[in-house]
A and B are shown apart, each in its own frame.
Chain A
């Protein structure tokens, strides 16, 4: 309850100060957290902008909420939970790792593993075949490049 009161009080204070001064009253480590957080949240009414970048009123409002939560001593995880509860996963530019998104996070690295293993296997096979193989025939190349009537 106490925490909630502090949030409300902070919000009221902010409403008076306006968003422009928002980050100045934070201690430097908190300021850094604030900056990181607002750069990872999506402005819901804009076309693909973070709330840090957007000038929309809704973005300003969300910035104020983040600021108030930081002032109230909430951790980053708690703040993320708070905004997700209100706006859904859509607000997060860093999608959470869950059943519907595991492929998103794992996919690229799985592909890299497949690619690297595949390339190594390819090189191996090539070394084995190399005994009988021959490289490009320079004579044939010149012939094709200079072939006038082909």
Chain B
């Protein structure tokens, strides 16, 4: 009964979504405010209905209802409760349901925090979001019904993919989807602005906090995914340029570009049509990412061709959404008023180049990800495009950008004087140069050119990020007062740019100075790596809730002093018989020591992988701080102040009415 309620709720949500598109648009066209207002209640109703469907599916998982095919394929009676709840998004059907749930959540947020929006813009924005929702609801109902029953009912489930049975994976997909789907709001705002022809600085201000929020979730999601891969895949890597990773990285790059161009549009009223294009592109890439991951096309073009229903549906949906958006863009964008002066020697001038680099970087990732598919589809052979390619292409596209960040943040708007900027940058430049030349040698007694360049860029980005707030503080007589006078938007920006530097630092050291060894070890034997001794004490067998495991005990010591005890595991999950690696890591901010069991050899020996990875933590710390920067920026007074005045106005209006 419960699954049927869920299915029915989805059908009802589809009906509501249809109303949410049709009535408000008609209302705008015919000038009927009451019809426009339907958008708000429809969005909220839709959210409740999809939430009901989602909870029904969750209940089927908790209740272990094996008659539901999706539940039986992705759960098991021995699966712990936490994973039974997260298994809802463990495979295709459920993750699509999560997708629409989050979309409805964003929609509802727009309908609640809408106070500064003109009524028609709000109506059109919600209508566009409703249209996207229709597409995904149809997709679920027609091709990927998570509530479908099966008979005969199996005695037990086939278990959740063991790779996904990890706390990191419990929150990784929701965070990532929050980001992906969040760009739909910027898209809908852009679409509505194009429809109404009112694309101005106010539009940019409405869009900014939404875009930054989506971006910060995506940042967190990607960071968490990288951390998860590091712990769970057992080869010490944290980014592989896998198509699935690229699918999330492309919208991130374009989303970052969008955040920066929105700043130009809001502050100076410039680059309007470009900003709109980026808003469309960011969401397009989110949809493309969904298509790539969900269609099976990544595994093989032929797999896609043999079971095309889902893939073709998303492809058609993609074509409709993008086709409509770009046609509207081509029709309206040329009519946008071009105004204002744009100089190279100004913040907006440099932000233009920031956009060039970010968008080209995203395009490079796109080319590298899709190229093997095209080569295969046109029968030109089978090729692989992997880390060597991406690292080689990406580095020259991103290094200049990091350098540019430093100059851009000290440059004023409109027309900056180069002399002023250079004077502010003198100290950071010299310090970055000195640290860059010395740090690699100080830490590792080995100066590599790449490490010096990386350290220079990192320190450069970190120091220049502090210049702007520092000068604002120094301008005030009372420093403490000055500190509190710096707007949060500035703090957020500084923190995000500082984190970029931190990230470059971690990236440089971990990729250039990591040491790894594959060794054969038995109990009582040890291996030395970068001055650390990894001694294998023994291996024990134990039974987990739904797996059996071998757990090794390693003692890590340096100069005879014990630093840590590490317990890497090799697990065999009973239901599917699949083997999983649980790496064990001891970490400080300066280094990770990583042990993973590769495979058992004869006589109780194991093939073991040990890694020394300097500054590994900085990579993820930077990701989290960057997202925090975004959060601080959207808490800026500017956004809250306006909504407070609006609330006061609403209250006043209510009194007047009463």
Residue positions of A touching B, CB distance < 8 A = 18-24, 35, 39-40, 42, 47-50, 52-55, 88-95, 100-101, 103-105, 107-109, 111-112, 115-116, 118-120, 122-123, 126-127, 129-130, 133-136, 140-141, 144-148, 150
Contacts and interface: CB of A to CB of B under 8 A. Distances in A.
A23 B570 CA distance: 23
Nearest to A132: B339
Given A90-B384, A101-B375, A123-B343, A20 B116 contact: no
Interface in B366-424: 367-368, 371, 375, 380-389, 392-393, 396-397, 414
Contacts of B201: 136, 141, 144
Given A20-B519, A88-B382, A133-B340, A140 B237 contact: no
B364 A89 contact: no
Contacts of A146: 642, 645
A135 B341 contact: yes
B352 A122 contact: yes
Nearest to A124: B344
Given A90-B382, A123-B344, A145-B205, A134 B339 contact: yes
B380 A100 contact: yes
Given A129-B338, A135-B269, A116 B356 contact: yes
B356 A95 contact: no
B341 A126 contact: yes
B599 interface: yes
B518 A22 contact: yes
B294 interface: no
With most chain B CB atoms within 10 A of its CB, the pick from A20, A39, A90 is A20
Contact of A19 (B202, B234, B393, B607): B607
A95 B299 CA distance: 18
Contact of B386 (A50, A55, A115): A50
9 contacts: A18-B601, A19-B607, A21-B520, A40-B388, A101-B375, A104-B371, A126-B342, A129-B338, A133-B341
Nearest to A113: B360
Given A20-B519, A119-B356, A136-B340, A108 B397 contact: yes
Contacts of B338: 129, 133
B338 to A, nearest CB: 7
A136 B271 CA distance: 12
B353 interface: yes
B351 to A, nearest CB: 11
Contacts of B205: 145
A55 B205 CA distance: 52
A150 B382 CA distance: 57
Contacts of B340: 126, 130, 133-136
A115 B77 CA distance: 56
A94 B385 CA distance: 6
A143 to B, nearest CB: 9
Contact of B339 (A22, A135, A147): A135
Nearest to B363: A111
A28 B342 CA distance: 55
A111 B269 CA distance: 27
A101 B363 CA distance: 16
With most chain A CB atoms within 10 A of its CB, the pick from B119, B375, B396 is B375
Contacts of B116: 145
Given A95-B385, A136-B269, A148-B649, A108 B353 contact: no
A36 to B, nearest CB: 9
A23 B200 contact: no
B517 interface: yes
Contacts of A150: 118-119
B359 interface: yes
Contacts of A120: 344
Nearest to A107: B367
B373 to A, nearest CB: 12
Contacts of A107: 363-364, 367
B118 A111 contact: no
A113 B232 CA distance: 40
B240 interface: yes
Nearest to A137: B269
B210 to A, nearest CB: 16
Nearest to A114: B360
B386 A93 contact: yes
A23 B386 contact: no
B356 to A, nearest CB: 4
A116 B360 CA distance: 10
Contacts of B599: 55
Contacts of B516: 35
Nearest to A49: B235
B520 A93 contact: no
B420 to A, nearest CB: 20
Given A40-B386, A94-B388, A95-B385, 18 more contacts: A20-B520, A48-B240, A48-B243, A48-B386, A50-B387, A91-B384, A93-B384, A94-B389, A104-B367, A108-B360, A116-B353, A123-B344, A127-B343, A133-B340, A135-B339, A136-B200, A141-B202, A145-B642
A62 B339 CA distance: 62
B247 interface: no
Contacts of A108: 360, 363-364, 367, 393, 397
A147 B118 contact: yes
B520 A18 contact: yes
B384 A95 contact: yes
B381 A100 contact: yes
